[in-house]
Structure 1
Amino acid sequence: MRARMLAAAAALTWAAASPAPAEEIGEVTTAFKILGANHRIVIEAFDDPKVEGVSCYVSRARTGGISGSLGLAEDTSDASIACRQVGPIRFRSELEDGEEVFGRRASVMFKRIQVVRFFDEARNVLVYLTYSDKLIDGSPQNAISAVAVAPWS
């Protein structure tokens, strides 16, 4: 019984600390491919797993074609983010600067698009940064969004 309770507590702790699941909001086609999926831009929404009342929207490129359909293509590093207060803001647990709150694979191996969070305590603002990293050579392309921690009316 004690082992089950410890396992459940560990699972809840891991779930709270892991990057947020995303919901696909929509997509647009950017290039038609005769074979395989089209190249497209997808929009995904996720809620910050440690900050209740904040949701973010990320748009990112998805490579199509045969290799994209098989999951073998490398997506470009292009991504954009917009985060907003959608309810009363409440911190569920301690925040760590640079903590990953969202991540997606952008190639078969080694490349990820991710969102990390920082808290600017002096201005009482949450800052979200999206970028891609790669084991050998990451990309300087990035985007940020900031959410003021304010009362919800």
Structure 2
Amino acid sequence: MIIITSVIFATFTARAEVVGSVDTVFKVFGPDHKIVVEAFDDPDVKNVTCYISRAKTGGIKGGLGLAEDTSDAAISCQQVGPVELNDNIAKGKTEGEVVFRKRTSLVFKKLQVVRFYDKKRNALIYLTYSDKVVDGSPKNALSAVPIIPWK
């Protein structure tokens, strides 16, 4: 008798809240193309919030969730209270860990934010980029959060 077991590893990424949006192209049918601004809190670092602006494709395909969004995005992260690093982050064991992921096409493309810790400068670095199963994009944006004592 053969017993097959599988282990599923779940990675927890932050959920974004829409802060606002602006229309960039009017579409007669379906929603307009827009830039969406979203906020998320780092799931593993207390008191760091990141804001992402990203392109959202409208039109009929966009309204149905079938359009592929462009790889354009920007990020800004801030310390919003006393930062608490867990041991794995402080020791550099989680370099390049995905803290946020958003699907930007029906199947193969996603926008990601990964975190690095610069121990020498005591700062957290957040990199956003878009990837695809076959062909990713070199477009990226970066934000650094110096960890400052909080009163």
TM-score, reference length from structure 1: 0.88
* 1:2-13 to 2 correspondences below 5 Å: none
8 A Cα contact 1:53 1:90, kept in partner: yes
* 1:19-34 to 2 correspondences below 5 Å: 19-34=13-28
TM-score, reference length from structure 2: 0.89
Give aligned-pair identity as a percent: 58
8 A Cα contact 1:115 1:129, kept in partner: yes
Separation (CA, whole Å) in 1 of partners of 2:98 and 2:35: 22
Which structure: greater helix fraction? 1
Separation (CA, whole Å) in 2 of partners of 1:112 and 1:93: 29
8 A Cα contact 1:20 1:46, kept in partner: yes
Q: CA deviation at 1:92?
A: 4.4
What's 1:131 paired with?
Answer: 129
Separation (CA, whole Å) in 1 of partners of 2:96 and 2:78: 19
8 A Cα contact 1:52 1:92, kept in partner: no
From 15, 35, 41, the equivalent of 1:41 is 35
CA-atom RMSD in angstroms: 1.3
* 1:1-153 to 2 correspondences below 5 Å: 17-92=11-86, 94-95=88-89, 96-153=94-151
8 A Cα contact 1:59 1:80, kept in partner: yes
Secondary structure at 2:60's aligned position in 1?
Answer: helix
Secondary structure at 2:66's aligned position in 1?
Answer: coil
Separation (CA, whole Å) in 2 of partners of 1:81 and 1:88: 21
Which 4+ stretches in 1 moved above 6 angstroms? none
- Structure 2 unaligned residues grouped into runs of 5+: 1-8
8 A Cα contact 1:112 1:132, kept in partner: yes
Secondary structure at 2:88's aligned position in 1?
Answer: coil
- Structure 1 unaligned residues grouped into runs of 5+: 1-12
8 A Cα contact 1:73 1:108, kept in partner: yes
